[in-house]
């Protein structure tokens, strides 16, 4: 997190500016008609506000003068467009505001008066120093949902500690719990998990506060942290700690409580097999031609199998190596044994299931992940608006939210 005065912009809808839903224009999502001011930057906050945007909110991203959100300068790029920025800012409007400038502050405060939601992910204290604390802005707009997503939250001794995803993964226990017993602590691969946990829980908090506002008429301050979200995701590791008072060892790809439940080598590649009970274990052994294992005292039930994991894996892989992955995937699926192939990202993106769920979409001409939240009665379009250019909507928004204008 940094303390630069920057923000994110998205389309703002509030007061008389709210677009009516008509028979010819179906609602874009359950948050249709809500106006969100997005002051978040980089990944954790923008991820959460993108969910709001995908579900119909008009989101105005407020960005700092200069290059705007830092991720506009991060690769990879398609042409001059950053995919890092584009993935979590699609469908938003952009306005550049210097929140220390009197005129720009006036525009910003006019937006606040009409907004339903304000999101920020600065270090605790930055918004207060700017004069934009929850207490100040809620006095201006008592119905405002003011969401803060930070590294460690707004309370506690680490509230002002600098936080990036890797720092939070390390301090939460996630890295120490990830990897193989004979390897080093390992960051979760392929994604910035702690950032995304913070953004997801920020969205959850906003949705909850909006529901409460329907009953009370009052806004609220939503305070979530990357650390809390990551710590809460450590379910299995925390179970071990709760039971024993100590951290368990790294366990690689296997399940901490069930066996066989792991990655296994076939003749040509790896597959994943997951057996959560004796019935499935019996079906697995029958299909692999190793029925004798079901009567072996080492493997009679799950607790026995957990005590003899190495021998169990050796026996299973000895059978699997007699044929290719495709053969075993077909045979085990027909036998009702939970099994899956080991795919890379390109292969996962090409799955018919991915297409059926609209999980690869076009946003501004760029391929990116779709919205995982599917709600009946609302479209889940394959094509969505792209991320805005810096200050793309600035001129129009300055007119719309000029101080003194009727809402």
Catalytic positions, please? Answer: 255
Cα 120 to Cα 149, 157, 230, distances in angstroms: 6, 20, 19
What CA–CA distance (Å, rounded) separates 369 from 279? Answer: 37
Strand partners, 81: 78
**H or E stretch including 315?**
helix 309-320
CA-CA-CA-CA dihedral for 369, 372, 374, 379, to nearest 10: -20
- φ/ψ (deg, to 5) at 108: -60, -45
∠ at Cα 369 (383, 389), nearest 5°?
Answer: 65
Where are any strands of DSSP class E within 226-364?
261-265, 270-274, 339-341, 360-363
Residue 210: CB atoms within 10 Å = 21
Q: DSSP letter at 152?
A: S
Residue 120: CB atoms within 10 Å = 24
* Nearest Cα residue to 290 out of 312, 257, 259: 312
């Amino acid at each position: 997190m940094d303390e630069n005065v920057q923000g994110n912009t998205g389309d703002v809808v509030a007061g008389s500016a709210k677009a009516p839903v008509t028979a010819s224009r179906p609602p874009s999502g359950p948050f249709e008609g809500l106006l969100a001011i997005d002051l978040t930057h980089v990944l954790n906050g923008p991820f959460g506000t993108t969910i709001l945007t995908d579900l119909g909110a008009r989101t105005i991203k407020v960005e700092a003068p200069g290059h705007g959100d830092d991720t506009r300068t991060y690769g990879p790029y398609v042409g001059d467009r950053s995919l890092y920025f584009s993935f979590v800012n699609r469908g938003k409007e952009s306005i550049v505001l210097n929140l220390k400038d009197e005129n720009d502050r006036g525009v910003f405060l006019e937006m606040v008066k009409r907004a339903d939601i304000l999101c920020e992910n600065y270090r605790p204290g930055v918004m207060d120093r700017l004069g934009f604390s929850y207490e100040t802005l809620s006095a201006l707009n008592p119905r405002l949902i003011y969401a803060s997503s930070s590294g460690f939250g707004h309370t506690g001794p680490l509230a002002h500690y600098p936080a990036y995803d890797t720092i939070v993964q390390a301090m939460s226990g996630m890295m120490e719990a990830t990897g193989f017993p004979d390897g080093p602590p390992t960051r979760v691969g392929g994604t910035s998990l702690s950032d995304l946990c913070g953004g997801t829980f920020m969205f959850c908090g906003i949705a909850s506060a909006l529901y409460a506002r329907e009953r009370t008429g009052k806004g609220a301050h939503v305070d979530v942290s990357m650390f809390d979200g990551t710590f809460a995701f450590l379910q299995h590791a925390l179970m071990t700690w709760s039971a024993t008072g100590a951290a368990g060892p790294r366990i690689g790809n296997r399940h901490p409580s069930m066996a066989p439940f792991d990655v296994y080598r076939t003749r040509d590649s790896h597959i994943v097999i997951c057996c959560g009970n004796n019935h499935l274990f019996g079906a697995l052994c029958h299909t692999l031609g190793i029925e004798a294992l079901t009567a072996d005292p080492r493997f009679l039930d799950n607790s026995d199998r957990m005590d003899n994991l190495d021998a169990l894996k050796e026996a299973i892989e000895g059978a699997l190596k007699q044929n290719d992955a495709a053969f075993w995937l077909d045979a085990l699926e027909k036998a009702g044994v939970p099994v899956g192939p080991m795919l890379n990202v390109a292969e996962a993106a090409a799955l018919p299931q991915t297409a059926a769920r609209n999980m690869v979409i076009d946003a501004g001409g760029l391929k990116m992940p779709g919205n995982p939240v599917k709600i009946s009665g609302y479209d889940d379009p394959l094509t969505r608006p792209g991320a805005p250019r810096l200050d793309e909507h600035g001129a129009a928004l300055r007119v719309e939210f000029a101080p003194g204008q009727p809402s």
